[in-house]
């Protein structure tokens, strides 16, 4: 691929070994994808399992990060950060789960790796929904990993980026460039799979769990192909769009999903298809949604040990809805519920009194972390005050990963926020 004079100097090591290593990563990627040149993204969303993982996994990834960061004093472009494995400063969370101080210290050592990124200029967003805190204009190029961020920035903001890996995202932050291929090229952004809703479905009455199940079903069929949804309400909020689109990158690897009449590149169906015929048309009805509920639910128990919301991280509207639902209720003493969000969103939730309502019920709003990794036996083996065998959630990504990472040991109860709260509520509440 063509490299400018400066890019060649970076590759040859003139700017240090970390820059040269990162250039090798990006030129190999560019060559593999037939890119002709590099372009300059405005930002990169960094996912590092060096601080998002635990144990050997974190160590191996940190070793790789170190190679890319050797001699690097400052990232060349703006960068945001994905959630950490755990937040050792969150005393409420530690107390609620009865974590020992030795476990907390061991985790602290691992997640402290994230400070390195902050020192190089990364914005300490620690969220999988950077689009709620770092907005982007239509047509701007980005680099980065985290499937939710990719599908949302592409589809809802009209930004242009590919589904990348942790190492390529970090390489872009280090070098300030990314190879031009895939979603960076306007001609590749047309929809190949058209999704129509059965007329009997009433999406205006959908719960978040229904929207998430719809996205999960479509992702399984679309795989890595661009999608267009027809028949969805024109007034869907960005929060609901996040709920619908996030699962497309979990059951599939979709990077761009147009919603006709809603998303920037799809005022009409024809615009989304760029005048072509769809390769495949899917009709989704009640039966397909029920199939997803059945697939994601792996327990017949009524009760759960914990309910998890905010995977991907919840915007204010979602926290507000949950807070209204739990207002005046109490959950069992041996149960808990967590809502994952970004720190700036929690600051607003605190000011609005939502955090107080949630804590009075027995729940916690947690920031900077994935709300379900730290108790998963697939990652960590620790004693908690109350054992967690069953998780209730309205997020397909959470159901998919908790069950998958634990090798099926943790059972899932998939459903609406209301049904999840019922599964952990005190009798009579
Ligand atoms: Fe976000 Fe963690 Fe879920 S990164 S999408 S809360 S798995």
CA 176 to chain centre: 23
pLDDT at res. 428: 62
Lowest-confidence range among 232-241, 291-300, 374-383, 387-396? 374-383
pLDDT tens by residue, 338-362: 999 999 999 999 999 999 999 999 9
Tell how far the Cα of 246 is from the centroid of ligand 1, in angstroms: 10
What 3-state DSSP class applies to 166? helix
Arithmetic mean of pLDDT over the chain = 97
Tell how far the Cα of 200 is from the centroid of ligand 1, in angstroms: 32
**Which residue's CA is minimally distant from atom 5 of ligand 1?**
312
312 lines ligand 1 (CB under 6 A): yes
83 lines ligand 1 (CB under 6 A): yes
pLDDT tens by residue, 55-94: 999 999 999 999 999 999 999 999 999 999 999 999 999 9
CATH fold label, 5-85+117-186: Aconitase; domain 3 (3.30.499)
Question: What is the average pLDDT across 18-38?
Answer: 98
- CA atoms of 261 and 341, how far apart (whole Å): 28
- Which ligand 1 atom sits closest to the C-alpha of 401? 7
Tell how far the Cα of 57 is from the centroid of ligand 1, in angstroms: 17
Nearest to 217 by CA among 306, 311, 146, 286: 286
Please compute, for residue 271, the number of CA atoms within 13 A of its CA located in the half-sphere on the CB side. Answer: 13
Domain boundaries along the sequence of the chain: 5-85+117-186, 190-294, 297-424
- Which ligand 1 atom sits closest to the C-alpha of 83? 4
Scanning 297-330, the segments in alpha helix (DSSP H) are 316-326
In the chain, pLDDT over 70 holds for what percent of residues? 100
49 lines ligand 1 (CB under 6 A): no
Q: Do domains 5-85+117-186 and 297-424 have the same CATH topology?
A: yes
pLDDT at res. 427: 75
**Cα Rg of the chain (Å, integer):** 22
pLDDT at res. 386: 93
Residue 421 — pLDDT band, cuts 50, 70, 90?
A: very high
Q: Is the omega angle on the peptide bond into residue 210 within 30 degrees of 0, that is, cis?
A: no
Tell how far the Cα of 334 is from the centroid of ligand 1, in angstroms: 24
pLDDT beyond 60 at 429: no
Superfamily of domain 297-424, CATH level 4: Aconitase, domain 3 (3.30.499.10)
pLDDT tens by residue, 99-114: 999 999 999 999 999 9
CB atoms < 10 A from the CB of 49, how many? 19
Q: 341 - beta bridge partners?
A: 367
CATH classification of 190-294 is 3.40.1060, yes or no? yes
308 lines ligand 1 (CB under 6 A): no
Query: Could you tell which of 242, 243, 313, 400 is best to mutate to test the pocket of ligand 1, judged by most ligand atoms within 8 Å of the CB?
Result: 313
Query: Do residues 225 and 198 touch, judged by C-beta distance below 8 A?
Result: no
| Strand bridging mode 336-341 / 363-367 | parallel
309 lines ligand 1 (CB under 6 A): no
148 lines ligand 1 (CB under 6 A): yes
């Amino acid at each position: 691929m063509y490299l400018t004079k400066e890019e060649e100097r970076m590759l040859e090591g003139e700017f240090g070994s970390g820059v040269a290593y990162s250039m090798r990563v990006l030129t190999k990627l560019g060559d593999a994808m037939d890119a002709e040149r590099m372009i300059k993204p405005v930002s990169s969303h960094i996912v590092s399992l060096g601080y998002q993982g635990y144990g050997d996994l974190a160590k191996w990834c940190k070793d790789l990060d170190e190679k890319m960061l050797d001699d690097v004093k400052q990232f060349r472009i703006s960068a945001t950060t994905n959630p950490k494995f755990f937040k050792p400063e969150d005393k409420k969370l530690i107390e609620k789960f009865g974590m020992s101080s030795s476990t907390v210290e061991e985790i602290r050592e691992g997640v402290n790796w994230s400070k390195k990124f902050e020192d190089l200029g990364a914005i300490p967003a620690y969220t999988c929904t950077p689009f709620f805190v770092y907005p982007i204009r239509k047509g701007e190029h980005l680099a980065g990993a985290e499937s939710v961020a990719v599908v949302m920035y592409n589809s809802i903001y009209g930004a242009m980026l590919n589904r990348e890996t942790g190492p390529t995202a970090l390489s872009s932050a280090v070098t300030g460039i990314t190879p031009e291929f895939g979603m960076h090229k306007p001609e590749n952004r047309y929809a190949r799979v058209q999704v129509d809703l059965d007329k009997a479905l009433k999406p205006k009455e959908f719960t978040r769990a229904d929207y998430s199940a719809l996205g999960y079903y479509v992702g399984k069929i679309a795989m890595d192909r661009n999608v267009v949804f027809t028949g969805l309400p024109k007034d869907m909020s960005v929060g609901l769009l996040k709920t619908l689109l996030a699962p497309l990158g979990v059951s599939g690897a979709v990077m761009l999903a147009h919603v006709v009449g809603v998303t920037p590149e799809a005022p009409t169906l024809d615009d989304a298809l760029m005048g072509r015929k769809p390769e495949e048309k899917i009709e989704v009805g009640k039966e397909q949604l029920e199939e997803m509920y059945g697939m994601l639910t792996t327990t017949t128990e009524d009760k759960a040990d914990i309910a998890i919301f905010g995977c991907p991280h919840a915007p204010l509207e979602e926290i507000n809805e949950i807070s209204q639902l739990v207002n005046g209720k109490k959950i069992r003493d041996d149960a808990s519920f967590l809502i994952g969000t970004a720190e700036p969103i929690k600051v607003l939730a605190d000011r609005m009194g939502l955090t107080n309502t949630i804590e009075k019920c027995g729940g916690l709003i947690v920031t900077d972390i994935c709300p379900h990794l730290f108790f998963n036996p697939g990652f960590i083996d620790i004693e908690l005050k109350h054992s967690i065998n069953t998780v209730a959630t309205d997020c397909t990504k959470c159901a998919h990963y908790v069950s998958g990472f634990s090798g099926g040991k943790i059972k899932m109860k998939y459903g609406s926020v209301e049904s999840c709260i019922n599964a952990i509520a005190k009798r009579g509440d």
